Amino acid sequence: MLFNSFPYIFLFLPISVIVFYLLNRISEKAGKYWLVIISLVFYSLGTIKHLPLLLLSIIANYSVAITIHRWQSDNPFKQNTAKRLLAVGIFFNVALLAFFKYVDFFIGNINQISNLNLKVLRLAIPLGISFYTFQQITYLVDTYRKEVKTINFFDYCIFITFFPRLLMGPITRYNEIIPQFQHAIQKNVNYRNMSLGLYLFFLGLCKRVVIADTLGVYADLGYTSTLSLSLVAAWMTSLSYTLQIYFDFSGYTDMAIGTAYFFNIKLPFNFNSPYLSVNIQDFWRRWHITLSRFLRDYIYIPLGGSRKGEISTYINIIITFLIGGFWHGAGWTFIIWGGIHGCALCVQRTWKKLNIQIPRLIGIFITFNVVNIAWVFFRAENLQDAINVCKAMIGLNAIQSLSLSAFQSIKPWDNAIGVLIGGLSVFIIFMFKNSNTIQQHFKQSTQMVMATVALIVVSLLFLNSTVPKEFIYNDF
């Protein structure tokens, strides 16, 4: 089920919230059971055929976690056993993800360099598998590190399946979420949280249906005609996607965080105005923050981080971002995207060591353009399309530089709206408070009620005029 759909907004979400608070009056456990049930229903409405896989993953990981917990001890033998169990659990999760998401990629590449002609399986990628796999790895590692003090199956089920962030994050840690369910405030309706949740949900919906969907038309047209892109059209194509993916995923995150507030649960921030970053390290502190944290804490630091010398640090950075790129999708374009960011971080680290200072605005300009070029590889269907777009962006395509033939199918009126919304999106990025600041300083007031009503009206009008589309990260 999509967040950006009328059945979710007017049926699923209200019923989920109302029944939750009614059951909480009976008992805390009843409310938790309802959350698990409704979360599994939510997942099933998207793809019921992959529900057994999700349940298998939950049961298997919980079994490993509880065994690790029981074997924890200062005794070296028991400690080594717990470590081996952790390795088994991580291998299980990675193997499951690799089988469904990457097996065709490996088969295709083997076929290209050999005469084996292995059959491609063409498996459907289970909904949300990338996110709930990482989620479960964090639980296993945190259990091994003794950061998870108590093991409870239904708490674990809530942690994994909590529907506001089941499919696309944010990627959370057990100790960030489950303790909130123990607070008395969580059991009763909190009108401030309801107001904030409503505002954030429709703010996110506006980002998606007004901005991301509008700019996505230009990105889609450009990336389906990469050979006919002029200089101007190539930049319109790349910038459209750069803005689209931000407002799409940031919008989803706002909707997820807003939904969680209806249950008095606060999810971690996931975006913090990333296109205002002054360098690439700053970008990854602001973009998909929970993924950045996962890559740092569960891949980069275990690899050795910066503890083993400068060369090893650079290697660890590159490996971490190649893995991060590959996690997004089974293709060389995603690996190159990760490699660009890894290399950029290495360059930025060297630059910092030389103690060379550059003005803030220049830093923002350079960082934004590096990110924009990297998004070309992320979005392109294949490597050749990415190269075609990059060539056009520097004027190497044999097309009149001002030609906009790639977008000729867009009607003049729709084009005017697209230009207006594109300009509005840039204005929002540079001039508006982001949703993190809004959360921190949110106050119930007449102005906030008016702003919420305006967001509801605008987002529903745009939603009503289009067919609901999946979020970009739904494919990952």
Residue 123: φ, ψ to 5°: -75, 140
Neighbours of 178 (CB within 10 A): 20
CB 116 within 8 A of CB 110: yes
Instruction: Give the Cβ contact number of residue 120 at 10 Å.
Output: 12
Q: Is 190 helix (H, G, I), strand (E, B) or coil?
A: coil
**Cα–Cα dist 320/338, whole Å:** 8
Name the token pair of 163.
């529907």
Give 267-299 as a DSSP string. PPP--S-GGG-SSHHHHHTTSSHHHHHHHIIII
Count the alpha carbons within 13 Å of 324 in the hemisphere toward its beta carbon. 27
- Answer yes or no: are the C-beta atoms of 248 and 284 closer than 8 Å: no
- Helix 51-71 and helix 28-47, axial crossing angle in degrees, nearest 10: 130
Residues 6 or more apart from 438 whose CB is under 8 A from it?
199, 200, 203
Answer whether 85's CB lies under 8 Å from 67's CB: yes
With contact defined as beta carbons under 8 Å apart, do 205 and 459 qualify? yes
Q: Which of 396, 14, 471 is nearest to 216 (CA)?
A: 471
Q: Quote helix, strand, coil % in the chain, to nearest 5.
A: 75, 0, 25
- What gap in Å lies between CA 78 and CA 68, rounded to an integer? 9
Whether the CA torsion 52, 56, 58, 59 is positive or negative: it is positive
Which residues are designated catalytic?
328
